[in-house]
């Protein structure tokens, strides 16, 4: 394992992903972890991330010198670089000379371990206030910028390396190459971490954990639960039962994807609970978005627990495991624990026996989203499931502004299917993050179609680009594609006489309308 020590901000996750792109397994640890504990993980190399602090700020994270003396190769980036410099006796000044953004880097030692084979002049991404003016003893300076005399250094003998900039971001033109040089040349690591290895490893781990007991997995139609279920299915076969609650709020074809394509690809045992009527009854007369969400969430838990109960009754109490599609970013963000948690099922509503405690199986807890997709692909899941864009749990229920009814759902499903079809045909799926299609059910406007006046509903297109859904911008889709979607929806979907485009970023608008 390569450890990425997290000094805050968002850099560590990106670095960890880049290391994995170099086919080396990486894990993130907090900078507060004692060095002895880091070393106990037996890392082949350690990377120190950037962070928001100045090394001179009060309470700024520090590092025990022992980290640099353990014989483990270390690569410091940005804040990690400055920390390495000050800890080992170099000089970092608060010069007031700041560099932000794209910066020309002058490589002074072209044959160095990190820079070998890369251009003497390259563009890098900087973000710092303090600057290193003297490298620690035993280090040679390998690059500078117009502002910073020491922008990179290395001590090949001790296997210690550092750069002032952020090699992990794409704006640093040779960043990945430099990271790979550290891993392969500096630390002597072989690139061997592949999707195939992940599957093999996880299958073995699941078998060891579950033994001859039984497991349940809730499928949502999303990527994570599908890949988690497929992995567990591969490991324990028919000891797994998948449960899919059809709440009637899915998009066109999605329930069939789970019922047919997922089962065909994995051979999993699937219980489909048709709960459409139950959900629609519960939603009748409700227009308030938060109330809708609460009702859908509550009904979902009730139905899922009822299904669990039936499986328990049928198969006996040895159903001890619940599969969840938790991803690595969730784990890191919630503090990075490595143990397996037990959860008590919410037995207050579903009538599960009091003493049922499921143990969680989380086969994706080491993976990033793009890695999950690769694993899914390798397991043979259909493209439509593996490349699926984010879709909210409450489904189309929160894309109908107004009361949710069967007729309105059917209408929205048609409009949504057309939009998706045309976006796919135009090759835009990878460009947009997601494109909610929203029905303004309580709004009517006048139109004219054929010879007659119409009084129909507007459909809103909400295509957005985003990195993580926290912020988003509206996608500048080609006019021809928008025109085609508009024409088709107004022609093919009864009761819709207008298509409008949402041109709001997030903030101030959220991605969904409710
Ligand atoms: P907003 O609308 O808050 O959405 O900008 C951000 C992202 O989250 C998705 N979303 C949900 N996902 N359950 C989910 O699983 C929900 O209740 C939910 N609400 C919003 C939304 O599609 C977008 O990707």
Q: What ipTM describes this predicted complex?
A: 0.99
Show Cβ contacts of residue 208 under 8 Å, excluding neighbours closer than 6 positions. Answer: none
Taking residues 386-405, report their average pLDDT. Answer: 95
Ligand 1 neighbourhood includes 432 CB (under 6 angstroms): no
Cα separations in angstroms, 33 against 9, 36, 69, 219, 410: 17, 8, 17, 36, 53
DSSP 478: -
Query: Do 127 and 266 belong to one domain?
Result: no
pLDDT digits (tens, 9 = 90+) for 120-141: 999 999 988 889 999 999 999 9
pTM for this entry = 0.83
Query: Do 345 and 466 belong to one domain?
Result: no
Using the mean position of ligand 1's atoms as its centre, give its distance from the Cα of residue 392 in Å.
5
Query: Do 372 and 406 belong to one domain?
Result: no
pLDDT digits (tens, 9 = 90+) for 353-364: 555 578 899 999
Task: Calculate the average pLDDT of the chain.
Answer: 92
Q: Is the per-residue pLDDT at 336 higher than 80?
A: no
CATH, residue 62 = 3.40.50.880
Query: Do 200 and 182 belong to one domain?
Result: no
Given this model, what pLDDT does residue 442 score? 96
Query: Do 237 and 337 belong to one domain?
Result: yes
Query: Do 244 and 375 belong to one domain?
Result: yes
3-state secondary structure of 192: coil
Query: Do 365 and 292 belong to one domain?
Result: yes
Among candidate residues 186, 219, 238, the one where a domain is terminated: 186
111 is in an annotated binding site: no
Q: Is the per-residue pLDDT at 41 higher than 60?
A: yes
Nearest CA to ligand 1 atom 10: 392
Q: Is the per-residue pLDDT at 224 higher than 60?
A: yes
Higher pLDDT, 454 or 339: 454
Among candidate residues 132, 159, 186, the one where a domain is terminated: 186
Using the mean position of ligand 1's atoms as its centre, give its distance from the Cα of residue 421 in Å.
22
Query: Do 142 and 219 belong to one domain?
Result: no
Query: Do 119 and 61 belong to one domain?
Result: yes
Ligand 1 neighbourhood includes 512 CB (under 6 angstroms): yes
With CA atoms as reference, report the closest residue to 124 among 172, 80, 81, 76: 172
Nearest CA to ligand 1 atom 19: 392
Q: What does the alpha-carbon distance between residue 430 and residue 14 come to, in Å, rounded to a whole number?
A: 20
Query: Do 444 and 463 belong to one domain?
Result: yes
**Residue 34, both tokens:** 């004692």
Using the mean position of ligand 1's atoms as its centre, give its distance from the Cα of residue 512 in Å.
7
3-state secondary structure 65-106: HHHHHCCCCEEEECHHHHHHHHHCCCEEECCCCCEEEEEEEE
Higher pLDDT, 260 or 337: 260
Q: Ligand 1, from 292, 512, 513: best to mutate by most atoms within 8 Å of Cβ?
A: 512
275 is in an annotated binding site: no
Relative to the CA of 220, which ligand 1 atom is closest? 15
Ligand 1 neighbourhood includes 392 CB (under 6 angstroms): yes
Beta carbons of 47 and 77 less than 8 angstroms apart: yes
Q: Which of 184-193, 236-245, 315-324, 386-395 has the lowest mean pLDDT?
A: 315-324
Given this model, what pLDDT does residue 128 score? 87
pLDDT digits (tens, 9 = 90+) for 305-319: 899 889 888 887 677
Bridge partners of residue 246, in order along the sequence:
274
Beta carbons of 511 and 466 less than 8 angstroms apart: yes
Within a domain: residue 510?
no
Q: Is the per-residue pLDDT at 350 higher than 60?
A: no
Give the residue numbers spanning the domain of 428.
399-501
Structural domains of the chain, count: 3
Within a domain: residue 507?
no
Q: What does the alpha-carbon distance between residue 494 and residue 112 come to, in Å, rounded to a whole number?
A: 68
pLDDT digits (tens, 9 = 90+) for 63-79: 999 999 999 999 999 99
The pLDDT-based confidence of 352 (bands split at 50, 70, 90) is low
Q: Is the preceding peptide bond at 508 cis, omega within 30 degrees of 0? A: yes
222 is in an annotated binding site: yes
220 is in an annotated binding site: yes
CATH, residue 382 = 3.40.50.620
């Amino acid at each position: 394992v390569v450890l990425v020590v997290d000094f805050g901000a968002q850099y560590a996750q990106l670095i960890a992903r880049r290391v994995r792109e170099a086919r080396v397994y990486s894990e993130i640890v907090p900078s507060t972890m004692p060095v002895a504990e880091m070393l106990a993980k037996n890392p082949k190399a350690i990377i120190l991330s950037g962070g928001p602090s100045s090394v001179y700020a009060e309470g700024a994270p520090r590092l025990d010198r022992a980290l640099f003396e353990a014989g483990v190769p270390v690569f410091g980036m940005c804040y990690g670089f400055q920390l390495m410099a000050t800890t080992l006796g170099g000089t970092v000044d608060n010069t007031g000379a700041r560099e932000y953004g794209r910066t020309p880097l002058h490589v002074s030692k072209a044959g160095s371990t990190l820079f070998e084979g890369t251009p003497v002049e390259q563009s890098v991404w900087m973000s710092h206030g303090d600057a290193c003016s003297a490298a620690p003893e035993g280090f040679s300076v390998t690059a500078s910028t117009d502002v910073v005399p020491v922008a990179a250094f290395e001590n090949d003998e001790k296997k210690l390396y550092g750069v002032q900039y952020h090699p992990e971001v794409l704006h640093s033109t040779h960043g990945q190459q430099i990271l790979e040089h550290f891993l392969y040349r500096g630390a002597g690591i072989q690139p061997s971490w592949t999707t195939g290895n992940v599957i093999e490893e996880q299958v073995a781990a699941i078998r060891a954990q579950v033994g001859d007991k039984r497991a349940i997995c809730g499928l949502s139609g999303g990527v994570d639960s599908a890949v988690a279920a497929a992995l567990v299915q591969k490991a324990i076969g028919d000891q797994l039962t998948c449960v899919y609650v059809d709440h009637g709020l899915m998009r066109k074809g999605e329930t069939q994807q789970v019922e047919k394509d997922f089962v065909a690809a994995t051979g999993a045992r699937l219980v489909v609970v048709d709960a459409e009527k139950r959900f629609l009854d519960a939603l009748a007369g409700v227009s308030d978005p938060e109330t809708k969400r609460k009702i859908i969430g509550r009904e979902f838990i009730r139905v899922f627990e009822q299904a669990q109960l039936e499986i328990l009754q049928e198969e006996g109490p040895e159903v001890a495991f619940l599969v969840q599609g938790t991803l690595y970013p969730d784990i890191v963000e919630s503090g990075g624990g490595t143990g397996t948690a037990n959860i008590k099922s919410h037995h207050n509503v579903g009538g599960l026996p009091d003493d049922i405690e499921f143990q969680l199986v989380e086969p994706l807890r080491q993976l990033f989203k793009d890695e999950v997709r690769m694993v899914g692909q390798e397991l043979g899941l259909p493209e439509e499931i593996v490349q699926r864009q984010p879709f909210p749990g409450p489904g189309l229920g929160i894309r109908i502004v107004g009361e949710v009814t069967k007729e309105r759902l059917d209408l929205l499903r048609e409009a949504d299917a057309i939009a998706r079809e045309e976006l796919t045909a135009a090759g835009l799926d990878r460009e947009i993050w997601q494109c909610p299609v929203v029905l303004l059910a309580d709004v009517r406007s006048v139109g004219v179609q054929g010879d007659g006046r119409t009084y129909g509903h507007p459909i809103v297109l909400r295509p957005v680009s985003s990195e993580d859904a926290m912020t988003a911008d509206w996608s500048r889709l080609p006019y021809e594609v928008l025109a085609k979607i508009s024409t088709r929806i107004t022609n093919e979907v009864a009761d819709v006489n207008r298509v409008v485009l949402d041109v709001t970023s997030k903030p101030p608008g959220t991605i969904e309308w409710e």
